Structure 1
Amino acid sequence: MTVDRGLLALLEAKPGKGDELAAFLEQGRALAAEEAGTVTWYAFRLSDTTYGIFDTFENEEDRQAHLNGRIPAALGQVAPDLLAADPDIRTTDIIAVK
């Protein structure tokens, strides 16, 4: 397995919506588990309003499949209610893995 690609999504919750965003992210784990091409999927909290998702992939096709999959679609549906701004989604190159 050669994991060399990732996605980092930073999410800023509207005031008072952090817990709801956290619950949404917890539910996202089940969707990520269904994606054969997503090697790892992490949801995390940086502060009361700042959350994120980090995923890893073995190839560009799997990363693109994820970007076009159910998790981004679900995020798009709840974003107007939960997010203070559009998600900051960045592609990453994995340099080293343990």
Structure 2
Amino acid sequence: MPKAASRNLLDADPAALGRVIAVVQKIAIASKAAFAADGVTVMQFNEAAGGQSVFHLHFHVIPRFEGVALRPHSGAMADHAELAAQAATLRAAL
């Protein structure tokens, strides 16, 4: 998420996007390694019709595994303890 406020990619400062995508790349590489993933999906949604439900620019970095289908976003929050453990694993890889 860039420091300069923007609703999404459509109104973001183009000068900031290069720095943002460099951080996304760093997190994607660390995520793939940290979770021993086969690949990584990077998603970014723009406006409600495009799937955006949180209205500030951000990217979703999702470790992916062969044979495991990407599930649709349910809107439900995952278990906090599980999220904390995953965050610690990712931080260690960074």
Compute the TM-score of the two structures, normalised by the length of structure 2: 0.39
User: Which structure has the highest strand share of the two?
Assistant: 1
User: Which structure has the highest helix share of the two?
Assistant: 2
Compute the TM-score of the two structures, normalised by the length of structure 1: 0.38
